[in-house]
Structure 1
Amino acid sequence: MNSGLLTPPAARAGGTATRPPEASLTWTDPVTGRQGFLVIDRLVRGLASGGLRMREGCRHEEVRELAAAMSVKEALHYDPTGRYLPMGGAKGGIDCDPLSSEARGVLSRFLAFIRPYLENNWATGDDLGTTTELIDEVLGELGVDGCIAPVVRTLADPQAARKRFSDAFAVEVDGIGLAELVGGCGVAEAVLTVLDRDGVSRTSATAVVQGFGAMGGSTARFLHEAGIRVVGISDVHGTVANPRGLAVEDMLRHRRAYGAVDRSRLGPDDVLLDRDDCLSLAADVLVPAATSYTVHENNQDRVTARYIVEAANLPVTAGAEERLRARGCVVVPDVVANSGTNAWWWWVLYGDVAPDAASSLSKVRGALRDLVTETLKLAEDAVCTPRQAARYLADARRDVLLSRTGA
């Protein structure tokens, strides 16, 4: 493919695609009045994948954007030589504080309402405010055979696939589950790829990670292992900074629930700052790894990093991204940078990787390096954003998939 001759449609139009989703519903809980949302952006072979989030203030439009992004993530990892056949994208969301006493009941009633989709079309899992274990527990109470039931029933040997899946989720590396590590490994590889591409030395590079939960914590670990100085980490309580570099492994060992830093164990040179100060810390790379819409038009001017690598979903708004690009900041989009987690699930289930750390992390690193390299090259040649380039690549790969499968 001669990418220099290609101009992604989104770049020509100057905006994002507005194709309507294939299914969209809003549910109101009869007990609490809380709302839940399901958006199936597109079905491929009758299937779509995407997590279920729960947070106070979750809205339908947010879920719709996330579902559209999942369609891109799925298609980007289509490999005609592999067993994994990508699906369409979907997303669920519930407007409720996941720590509230009513959360589990709301979750159960929402899943009961959308049960036909869970049994036939939508393969889901954890997202912000939920865990795969909790969702599977509730689904079991409802008589649904787990988060991945719609995909498993399409496989030739469902029993073997489920065993690979459960074996992979049981693996731990230094006390952290493999399912948590693969996401951060992919994000870190995206960071390393963009630095290597621009000739930035790893040993002199610095990074700030916003969020210290599953994705942020594992990203910080892999960046630290690669020799990059992590000079700032934020959690819900604030930002911890040290220009000489933070003791990432020690912080991970003593990390508290929900990604909270144990401030009683910080080093003598570590400095405590406000939570939003992570945006303005001097660093080469900013990794937003917590909530959506963290960087927006009203605070993007605080960002000093040369690169933003999105570990969270939708952490940079479209308006902020345009302004950042205009002043030379490269944004590696979530649909690329954090896509390793989603792809790994299906690589394991389909048998493209063994259910162990060595095979899984090697596959994630190779796939993310190739994908980031191709995305940035197309963006450069087509004079568009990396996000627009990723959407174009996804459309092209989906067309090939559909032509081969007849779906």
Structure 2
Amino acid sequence: MSKSAVIDHTQRDPWSIAQEQFGIAADRLHLDPNMRAILAECQRELTVHFPVRMADGAVKVFTGYRIQHNTTRGPGKGGIRYHPSVTLNEVKALAMWMTWKCAVVGIPYGGAKGGVVCDPKMMSQQQLETLTRRYTTEIALLIGPERDIPAPDVNTNAQTMAWIMDTYSMHQGYTALAVVTGKPLSIGGSEGRNEATARGAVYTIIEAAKHLGLDLEGARVVVQGFGNAGSFSAKLMHELGGKVIGVSDTSGGIFNPRGFDPNKVDAYKRETGSVVGFPGTEKVTNAELLELDCDILIPAA
């Protein structure tokens, strides 16, 4: 294949990628054609449009999705993300991947996912609460402790889950704590939930390092993304003796070949809104960050 004919996989449709991956796995498993046809599509796809009054008094209509890929093994399980680039096909792909994740680890849940097309960085806390409660009302016909259980994802957190739980409970007429996971500890959340995604990634890195004969003490680590998963991954690798030399967020990246303390970077980001500008580091673009010379690259954007 000529260079001009090489496919840029970063621009591919997520749903087509998920279906292609499933096709490869189904071929290797010699999956029954009937089962293959069932699992190749999502069971339910809900698109909702709902109004939210913005700070200037204008009403803006937002679009949201909740997808259930397959609930044969149990209630749907999957996060809800808030991001300007959310699309129906992205959410469908993520729901399919949740089905496989739950099945692989042997827990009695199916795959689901949700999202709202919005930019939470441009919204006040009050607007985010209103958006979340309206979105919850719209998808309430699909979710529930025995039907579909949302969780935090990109740009959503324990507070978001608390709003969802409270709104759903008001519609039901009783407190339904089990409608979401990732809640605050005070209303039934689980210890360690915030860093769970990152810890799972780091456990994998530890095992991979053993296989490769890589000493994590002093290993150079680069982390793409410094949200929940990325920041905790960087902190955990730092605790293991890794040398975090580069991290990034949506505004860009930072680099120091001698390494830096990701806990201090996290504090700096909370104060300024970005990792860019952290003292003692050089600014790099998000593209340049991925090309930094390192031993371990963690894609967590």
What range is the shorter-chain TM-score in?
0.7 to 0.9
- How many angstroms does 1:236 deviate by? 2.2
- 1:149 corresponding residue in structure 2: 179
Map 1:108-257 onto structure 2 (within 5 A): 108-119=133-144, 120-142=146-168, 143=170, 145-146=175-176, 148-149=178-179, 166=188, 168-169=190-191, 178-256=192-270
Aligned pair 1:277/2:294, yes or no?
no
Report the AA paired with residue 212 of structure 2.
D
* Cα displacement string for residues 288-344 of structure 1 (whole angstroms, at most 9, x for unaligned residues): 112xxxxxxxxxxxxxxxxxxxxxxxxxxxxxxxxxxxxxxxxxxxxxxxxxxxxxx
- How many angstroms does 1:104 deviate by? 3.6
Secondary structure of 1:246 counterpart: coil
Equivalent residues of 2:177, 2:187 under 8 A apart: no
Cα distance in structure 2, aligned partners of 1:116 and 1:255: 38
- 1:342 corresponding residue in structure 2: none
TM-score (norm. length: structure 1): 0.56
Secondary structure of 1:263 counterpart: coil
- How many angstroms does 1:188 deviate by? 1.3
- How many angstroms does 1:71 deviate by? 0.9
Equivalent residues of 2:82, 2:120 under 8 A apart: yes
* From 63, 71, 85, the counterpart of 1:35: 63
Q: Would the alpha carbon gap of residues 86 and 288 (structure 1) be closer, same or farther in structure 2, given more than 3 Å must change?
A: same
- 1:107 corresponding residue in structure 2: 132
Q: Would the alpha carbon gap of residues 72 and 147 (structure 1) be closer, same or farther in structure 2, given more than 3 Å must change?
A: farther
Aligned pair 1:89/2:117, yes or no?
no
Q: Would the alpha carbon gap of residues 150 and 138 (structure 1) be closer, same or farther in structure 2, given more than 3 Å must change?
A: closer
Q: Would the alpha carbon gap of residues 33 and 10 (structure 1) be closer, same or farther in structure 2, given more than 3 Å must change?
A: farther
- 1:68 corresponding residue in structure 2: 96
* From 288, 291, 294, the counterpart of 2:299: 288
Secondary structure of 2:159 counterpart: helix
- How many angstroms does 1:164 deviate by? 10
- How many angstroms does 1:257 deviate by? 6.3
Equivalent residues of 1:96, 1:103 under 8 A apart: no
- How many angstroms does 1:92 deviate by? 0.6
Cα distance in structure 2, aligned partners of 1:197 and 1:59: 38
Map 1:311-322 onto structure 2 (within 5 A): none
Cα distance in structure 1, aligned partners of 2:83 and 2:102: 24
Cα distance in structure 2, aligned partners of 1:150 and 1:233: 31
Map 1:284-363 onto structure 2 (within 5 A): 284-290=295-301
Secondary structure of 1:44 counterpart: coil
Secondary structure of 1:148 counterpart: helix
* Cα displacement string for residues 192-239 of structure 1 (whole angstroms, at most 9, x for unaligned residues): 211211112223532210111211111011111212221111122221
* Cα displacement string for residues 83-142 of structure 1 (whole angstroms, at most 9, x for unaligned residues): xx4200100111111232554433322211221322341111211121232232244145
Secondary structure of 2:112 counterpart: strand
Q: Would the alpha carbon gap of residues 243 and 150 (structure 1) be closer, same or farther in structure 2, given more than 3 Å must change?
A: closer
- 1:313 corresponding residue in structure 2: none
Equivalent residues of 2:230, 2:300 under 8 A apart: yes
Cα distance in structure 1, aligned partners of 2:95 and 2:40: 12
- How many angstroms does 1:261 deviate by? 2.3
Report the AA paired with residue 39 of structure 1.
I
Percent same amino acid among aligned pairs?
26
Cα distance in structure 2, aligned partners of 1:50 and 1:259: 27
Secondary structure of 2:142 counterpart: helix
Equivalent residues of 1:42, 1:88 under 8 A apart: yes
Aligned pair 1:26/2:47, yes or no?
yes
Of 199-208 and 217-226, the range deviating more from structure 2: 199-208
Equivalent residues of 2:235, 2:262 under 8 A apart: yes
Cα distance in structure 1, aligned partners of 2:151 and 2:227: 16
Secondary structure of 1:54 counterpart: strand
Cα distance in structure 1, aligned partners of 2:187 and 2:132: 24
Q: Would the alpha carbon gap of residues 165 and 196 (structure 1) be closer, same or farther in structure 2, given more than 3 Å must change?
A: farther
Bigger relative contact order, structure 1 or 2, given CA contacts below 8 A and separation 6+? Answer: 1
Cα distance in structure 2, aligned partners of 1:89 and 1:49: 5
Equivalent residues of 2:41, 2:69 under 8 A apart: yes
- How many angstroms does 1:167 deviate by? 6.5
Report the AA paired with residue 149 of structure 1.
V
- 1:307 corresponding residue in structure 2: none
Equivalent residues of 2:197, 2:229 under 8 A apart: yes
Cα distance in structure 2, aligned partners of 1:188 and 1:274: 25
Equivalent residues of 2:137, 2:167 under 8 A apart: no
Secondary structure of 2:151 counterpart: coil
- How many angstroms does 1:191 deviate by? 1.5
Secondary structure of 2:234 counterpart: helix
Paired residue total: 255
Question: Unmatched 5+ residue regions in structure 2?
Answer: 1-23, 31-35, 52-58
